[in-house]
């Protein structure tokens, strides 16, 4: 069973390649309007005298933050592991944003805590689910809200996604991730999609991705997702599904949680 962290190379993928080949709701205005804009509006209501700070964890090329560029009294922070992406395409797209190159596994050492009113993580948990949620918790102020999405293995809507890559040489196996804080230690068994032998060299750069499995093998729900959210310390404000078309699947379904610190 694989326990080594995936190490994708998104820095080798241009923005054009990303949008044409990667399966994500990024750049989708409906997703922004349903899940991200309400967080900004709620933060304005909480403290109308303060500018709203939005932090995007694993922001990549900055496509989600672009929706917020120009919103009044909103400051943008993009955090990503690839300094190359941040310095080139992200900076070109978001000239006024604060961009931070940081690995979420050590975010507490590289990014100050409590800097944001709003956190977003779009397609981010597929690599480091424990650390991605931890990063959101770290950057948010007390009472801050975030939105994070999960693609659940076992949801029939997503079968075409997995089939597309296994037919190209990808492999699916079990993998473990461990949550550890103080005396608490829990191990989660997830499904790993390994792209490293896919025929498309761009797709091979994705390395491996991790997916929580359905609790009953029939629905999008996952008890492990709920447990990890609980362990991280978030309060669940909302749970919803979102459908989008992608290169590997015309009708993906992801589970989106709105959380509060």
Other CB atoms within a 10 A radius of the CB of residue 114 amount to 13
CB-based contacts of 65-70 (< 8 A; 24+ apart in sequence):
65/93, 65/94, 65/97, 66/27, 66/93, 66/94, 67/29, 67/32, 67/36, 67/37, 68/36, 68/40, 69/93, 69/94, 69/96, 69/97
CATH code that applies to domain 15-151+220-260 = 3.40.50.150
For 30, the enclosing helix (H) or strand (E) is: helix 29-31
pLDDT tens figures, 44-76: 999 998 999 999 999 999 999 999 999 999 999
User: 72 vs 34, 48, 53, CA distance in Å?
Assistant: 19, 12, 11
pLDDT at 4: 72
Q: What is the DSSP code (8-state) at residue 59?
A: -
Which segments of the chain have a pLDDT < 50?
A: none
Nearest to 131 by CA among 238, 232, 24, 46: 232
The whole-number pLDDT of residue 7 equals 85
Instruction: State the pLDDT at residue 11.
Output: 80
Q: Residue 13's pLDDT is what?
A: 82
Report d(CA 250, CA 244) in Å as an integer.
7
The pLDDT score that the predictor gives to residue 221 is: 79
Q: Where are the domains of the chain?
A: 15-151+220-260
């Amino acid at each position: 069973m694989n326990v080594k962290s995936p190490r994708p190379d998104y820095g080798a993928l241009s923005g054009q390649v990303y949008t044409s080949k990667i399966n994500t709701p990024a750049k989708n205005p409906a997703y922004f309007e349903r899940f991200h804009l309400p967080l900004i509006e709620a933060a304005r209501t909480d403290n109308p005298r303060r500018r709203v700070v939005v932090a995007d964890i694993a922001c990549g090329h900055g496509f989600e933050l672009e929706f917020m560029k120009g919103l009044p009294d909103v400051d943008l922070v993009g955090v990503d592991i690839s300094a190359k992406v941040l310095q080139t395409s992200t900076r070109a797209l978001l000239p006024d944003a604060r961009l931070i190159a940081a690995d979420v596994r050590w975010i507490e050492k590289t990014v100050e805590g409590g800097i944001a009113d709003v956190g977003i993580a779009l397609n981010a948990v597929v690599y480091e689910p424990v650390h991605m949620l931890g990063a959101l918790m770290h950057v948010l102020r007390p009472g801050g809200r975030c939105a994070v999405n999960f693609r659940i293995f076992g949801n029939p809507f997503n079968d075409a996604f997995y089939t597309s890559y296994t037919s190209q040489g990808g492999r699916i196996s079990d993998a473990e991730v461990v949550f550890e804080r103080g005396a608490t230690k829990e191990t989660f068994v997830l499904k790993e999609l390994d792209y490293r032998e896919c025929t498309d060299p761009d797709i091979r750069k994705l390395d491996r991705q991790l997916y929580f499995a359905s609790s009953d093998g029939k629905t999008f729900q996952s008890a492990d997702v709920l447990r990890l959210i609980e362990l991280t310390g978030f309060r669940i404000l909302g749970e919803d599904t979102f459908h989008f078309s992608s290169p590997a699947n015309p009708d993906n379904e992801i589970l989106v949680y709105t959380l509060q610190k």
